[in-house]
Amino acid sequence: MYTCDTLTEKGHKAVEPTASPTAESLRDSAVSTDTDALGRPLKPVSRGFQTSIFFAMFGTWLALMPATSITLALKINQIDPENKAVSLSLVLGVGAFVALVAQNIFGALSDRTTSRWGMRKPWILGGMLTGLLSLVFLAFADSIPTIVVAWALTQLTFNILLSGLNPVVPDQVPQKQLGRVSGLLGLTHTFAAVGGAALAQAFLPDVTMAILIPGIVFAITIVIFLLVLRDRTQAKEDVAPFSLLLFIKAFWTSPRKAPDFALAWVSRFLVMFGNMTLSSYQLYFLMDRFGFTEATVGPAILQLSIITAVTTTVMSITVGFLSDRLARRKVFVLVSAIILALAHILAAVAPSFAVFAIAAGIAGLALGVYLAVDQALIAEVLPSRSDVGKDMGVLHLANVLPQTLVPVTAPLFLAIGGGLNNYPALFIGGAIVGIIGAIVNQFIKSVR
């Protein structure tokens, strides 16, 4: 058996043997045969596992992404057209704050789960069921305050699900497959954006059905994944006694003890912040700049989603393979940020929808590069296998905080020069932040 009680200069826990493992102990210990000295998985995951987790992630984003990019914006525009940007910022900001709290707490709790069905399955199933109910509430919300509450509940329940789903990759996938699996799962965002836009277009102007139908698909994909997943289990005696300090620690991983994890966190936060400045306000930009209406903006969003999907898919598959082959991650993060900055600048000055579509295609290239290596890099800098759920929750803050801060800061950029439609200032500001995030990533020491 092994104990982990010291830290290397790269931020990983060093391993000191307390006893020499015998052949008998190796046969009896699943940890010894299926994991390395740091507790990371060694056994390759099957194609069935990869396929099922791909569709589980796809279904999750399919239920969420149309709301963030299309249906919420249209619902708010119907109720409060004069203040739509401010109201959207309120809805997204409150929902992001809820998500900020939820996944960290439930991620830490999933690390302590001793269910006979596994550590992650109870949270995935519970999140799916309550998530469906939240989507129903959101679909029938008919005022700004009701939408605020409904979206907050949606964020809460889906983050319960993600608190179980996100740790599955570091739980199950060995280092030699991380790039390929990361690239595969990265595509789920893109495919969900296309699928969500297509479903929205099929049911609009009926916003209610455009919210509910993706929810049904989501539930089916999660059920299939739960049937395939062979979840990690742990005994009650292996779990530390419960303490309220657990909830405080759920929001913190020491940068001193895990410096590379801290750098990865800051990098992801800045890159996500930069990306959201374009994605969250794309629909209003098209309506205000190019004169699209509620009746015509759906097909436009679908076109942009298809363009982005094609470029993202090509780059994600290619870079995922190259990243594993070259055993390098950081250089691809830098390349992706540079490409994304160019896309934001082109979008900011686009004189026509055709030029904006080119910018969307370039942004897809950048996204494909980033998604191919991001999950793999994160899995390599996780401080401890025993706290995977908690650490993934802490990392999730880097995704959620931009969702909170972009809606808060966006009106400041939009108001530059008077009015509330200075989208170029917003997009270019996001490009600068993303570049800074990629530079921070280059200081990680334990990953090439």
Same domain for 137 and 228, yes or no, is: yes
Same domain for 29 and 116, yes or no, is: no
**What pLDDT digit, counting tens, does each position of 285-343 carry?**
888 888 888 778 878 888 888 888 888 888 887 887 788 778 788 888 889 889 988 99
**What pLDDT digit, counting tens, does each position of 358-381 carry?**
998 998 898 888 877 877 787 788
The DSSP string of 293-325 is -HHHHHHHHHHHHHHHHHHHHHHHHHHHHHHHH
CA distance 82 to 194: 29
Same domain for 28 and 107, yes or no, is: no
Q: How far apart are the first and last CA of the chain?
A: 30
CA distance 88 to 72: 8
- Domain annotation covers residue 228: yes
- Domain annotation covers residue 284: yes
- Domain annotation covers residue 271: yes
Q: Between the CA atoms of 155, 161, 164 and 165, what dihedral angle is there, to the nearest 10 degrees?
A: -100
**What pLDDT digit, counting tens, does each position of 189-230 carry?**
778 878 887 887 788 778 888 899 999 999 999 999 999 998
CB atoms near residue 124 (< 10 Å): 25
pTM (2 d.p.): 0.67
Amino acid at 161: L
On whether the CB atoms of residues 370 and 317 are closer than 8 A, the answer is: no
- Domain annotation covers residue 42: no
Q: How many distinct structural domains can be found in the chain?
A: 2
H/E stretch holding 33 reads: helix 30-34
Pair of tokens at residue 379: 């899995």
Residue 387 sits in a domain whose CATH number is 1.20.1250.20
The confidence score (pLDDT) of residue 223 equals 96
Between the CA of residue 78 and those of 34, 39, 203, 285, 411, what are the distances in Å? Answer: 55, 52, 16, 17, 20
- Domain annotation covers residue 252: yes
- Domain annotation covers residue 238: no
What is the domain range of residue 225? 47-233+243-441
Count of alpha carbons within 13 angstroms of residue 63, beta-carbon side:
33
Same domain for 132 and 10, yes or no, is: no
Same domain for 21 and 164, yes or no, is: no
